[in-house]
Amino acid sequence: MIERIDVGTRMSKIVKHNGVAYLCGQVGTRGESVADQTAECLRKVETLLEKAGSGKEQILQAIIWLADMADFDEMNAVWDAWAPEGHAPARACGEAKLASPELAVEIIITAACE
Instruction: Answer yes or no: is 69 within a domain.
Output: no
**CATH of residue 14:** 3.30.1330.40
What pTM was estimated for this model as a whole?
0.95
End-to-end CA distance of the chain: 13
Does residue 79 fall inside a structural domain?
yes
pLDDT digits (tens, 9 = 90+) for 2-51: 999 999 999 999 999 999 999 999 999 877 899 999 999 999 999 999 99
Domain extent for 5: 1-24+39-64+74-86+103-114
Model confidence over 48-73: pLDDT tens digits? 999 999 999 999 999 999 999 999 99
- Separation CA 109–CA 24 (nearest Å): 7
Kindly list the distances between the CA atom of residue 91 and the CA atoms of 8, 32, 63, 64, in Å, as whole numbers in the listed order.
27, 24, 6, 8
